[in-house]
A and B are shown apart, each in its own frame.
Chain A
Amino acid sequence: APAFSEGYGLGRAALPEEIAAWDLDVSPDGTGLPPGSGDVLTGEEVFADQCAACHGDFAEGVDNWPKLAGGWDTLADDDPLKTVGSYWPHLSTTWDYVNRSMPFGAAQTLEPDDVYAIVAYILYSNDLVDEDFVLSDENLASFEMPNADGFIVDDRKETEFSQWVGEPCMTDCKDTVEVTMRALVLDVTPQEEGTVTQAVAEPEAAPEEVV
């Protein structure tokens, strides 16, 4: 549309106050952090008030709520425990997520200094700092997380596509077909009204949570 080659003239300029109110994201290099600081002991108090009901006094998690601490060296295990300490690559993410989206049900109610203190306490709960540690906008970006090098960019094209392209087998593809696993044995599917339960045995293992 030639008449609109310079744009459609829709919308209006955003004001600095508006951008400041909504643009809260913090990048791994610390871009976006507001000035402020918080120490472990302050964080312990704030965490007890604001977070511990779900995440536990020591960030170990209550019931099914997320565990924020623990799980070191479990990532290659059968049942890895992924926490801030064992898994998260950047400390900026913890600050950003707590600041914007926690506590669950009352997000965006924390002051920056409280967020620094909470993040300091989460580090302490993961045995990554001593109890006199003070986290601030000055030192956050340089804090090295244990699993910082644990991530690779999607490599499916190299590791998978080469194997799984081309004309697939159509006949005589295998000799035998045997059942190796049955959902009805686990029996964890919600039952519909009016249907008959067909469980053939007691559950053998706890169901795998994903979401």
Chain B
Amino acid sequence: MSENFKTSRRGFLRGAAASTALVAGASQADTPDPLITEVQDWASGLGEGVDATPYGLPIEFESDVIRRNVEWLTADTISSINFTPIHALDGTITPQGCAFERHHSGAIELSKQDYRLMINGLVDTPLIFSYADLERFPRENHVYFCECAANTGMEWAGAQLNGAQFTHGMIHNMEYTGVPLRTILEEAGLGAAGDLADKWVYVEGADASSNGRSIPMEKALDDVLVAFKANGEALRKEHGYPVRLVVPGWEGNMWVKWLRRVEVTDGPVESREETSKYTDTLADGTSRKWTWAMDAKSVVTSPSPQAPITHGSGPLVISGLAWSGRGAVTRVDVSKDGGKTWETARLAKPGEKMALTRFYLDTDWNGEEMFLQSRAMDETGYVQPTKAQLREVRGLNSIYHNNCIQTWWVRPDGEAENVEVS
């Protein structure tokens, strides 16, 4: 079996489908199944002891459910991106170990002992906190998505990468534990800042890139979290250990990792990451700046190019993710004919604000080709646009904030391809 472990799940399932093709539906087996009629090793011998794996990884059969990078996207792998295997996941919580990474000078190693957080600028008393100090403030727990501003960015000019992991995988969704930024700012005292309406905070990381960003005070005092736990445990090194900023609904770049300083300022710093980068150029050559919120978006994760249909016609679960940076997802529609007709999908749970929402359309596939699309709506009434609608307003060179409707062309053999349709 060990050689089989190295093949992808897709290859594995293809083989399985070929050998059990007649099992689909309520058909009758001709011969008894030896997996049932013969005593298997695991039903007779012993498995691993409880001391074998103090901290476990997924079973090797799932070895294709991993982060992947695309070499040609960046000059090197240090200031670069990788992708969450959303095609293979279900539910909404992203396992931290395969949740995407985006660094500008690599994933640094910063211990809790060496960690310091500075609050300075227009505050009554500039303060230094140790990691232990942060754990003594009252905590909150929230689930939020973190989506890179560039997610789906390679698709502006056309259908480029063949898989939901690559087209939509610059995203993860975790349950964060942390202290509201408001609490920490108030500890330093905001009296010195005067009228808070026109004030900003500048946040930066401890890494060489610093990733400094300016955030208006209104957002800083609303729902921004100084987080130290994700999905129950400490942040992973690559996600900002020991402390990161969580900025609900806003572009991932602002979720500053290895957070070391928060400065209250009179105005935006207009740092590199909010001038050269994370500004969106329109067709006429002018560019939008401060496009913070991530708009309503969705994608069918299965079937998709990396998750083809291997079971033939009959019952089919069409599954996907929807999210909005402006509130809760209220509805997702799915089309099987490229947008001619739509059916409203079932939300696995009611949508939560600024968090991933899982949707399902339980359907009966007749074995004919499909052009699968999903269309999210959020509580503001906003309906996820087509790529043509987005291009109409923005042109082709916005780079960031591509929340267009995605199309997968599913063919009779069950294989799926990333396409654009008229």
Contacts and interface: CB of A to CB of B under 8 A. Distances in A.
A92 B162 contact: no
B166 A170 contact: no
Interface string B5-16: 011101110000
A90 B269 CA distance: 10
Interface residues of A, number: 86
Contact of A177 (B80, B291, B377, B422): B422
A93 B340 contact: no
B279 A151 contact: yes
A2 to B, nearest CB: 13
Interface string A63-96: 1111000000001101010101001111011001
Interface stretch (A45-53, A122-130, A160-168): A160-168
Interface string A141-179: 000000000111111100111011110111111111111
B35 to A, nearest CB: 22
Given A11-B187, A64-B75, A194-B6, A107 B105 contact: yes
Interface stretch (A34-42, A131-139, A184-192): A184-192
B281 interface: yes
A84 B272 CA distance: 10
B17 interface: no
B421 A180 contact: yes
B381 A165 contact: yes
Interface stretch (B65-73, B226-234, B236-244, B350-358): B65-73
Given A75-B285, A101-B210, A181-B158, A198 B341 contact: no
A198 B340 CA distance: 28
Contact of A183 (B12, B161, B186, B283): B161
B421 A179 contact: yes
B11 A194 contact: yes
B267 A27 contact: yes
B382 A174 contact: no
Contact of B342 (A12, A168, A194): A168
Interface in B46-97: 64, 68-75, 78-81
B72 A207 contact: yes
Contacts of A190: 68-71, 166
A23 interface: yes
Interface string B116-147: 00111100011111100100111000000000
B270 A92 contact: yes
A10 B137 contact: yes
B415 interface: yes
B382 A177 contact: no
- Band of interface residues on B: 35 or more
A166 B260 CA distance: 43
A152 B10 contact: no
Interface string B302-313: 000110000000
A89 B420 contact: no
Contacts of A159: 393
A211 interface: yes
A211 B338 CA distance: 29
B337 interface: yes
A176 B289 CA distance: 37
Contacts of A66: 75
Contact of A172 (B129, B150, B341): B341
Interface stretch (B19-27, B36-44, B201-209): B201-209
A125 B136 CA distance: 52
B212 interface: yes
A7 B186 contact: yes
Contacts of B272: 93, 96-97, 101
A180 B281 contact: no
B409 A179 contact: yes
Nearest to A175: B340
A18 to B, nearest CB: 7
Contacts of B291: 154, 156
A97 to B, nearest CB: 4
A207 B64 CA distance: 25
B189 interface: yes
Interface string B337-379: 1111110000000000000000000000000000100010100
7 contacts: A80-B281, A82-B281, A93-B270, A93-B271, A168-B333, A182-B419, A208-B156
Given A27-B265, A178-B422, A179-B420, 10 more contacts: A23-B121, A27-B267, A27-B270, A163-B385, A172-B340, A180-B421, A182-B409, A182-B419, A211-B150, A211-B153
Interface of A: 1, 7-8, 10-14, 18-19, 22-23, 25-28, 54, 63-66, 75-76, 78, 80, 82, 84, 87-90, 92-93, 96-97, 100-101, 104-105, 107-108, 150-156, 159-161, 163-166, 168-184, 186, 188-190, 192-195, 198, 207-211
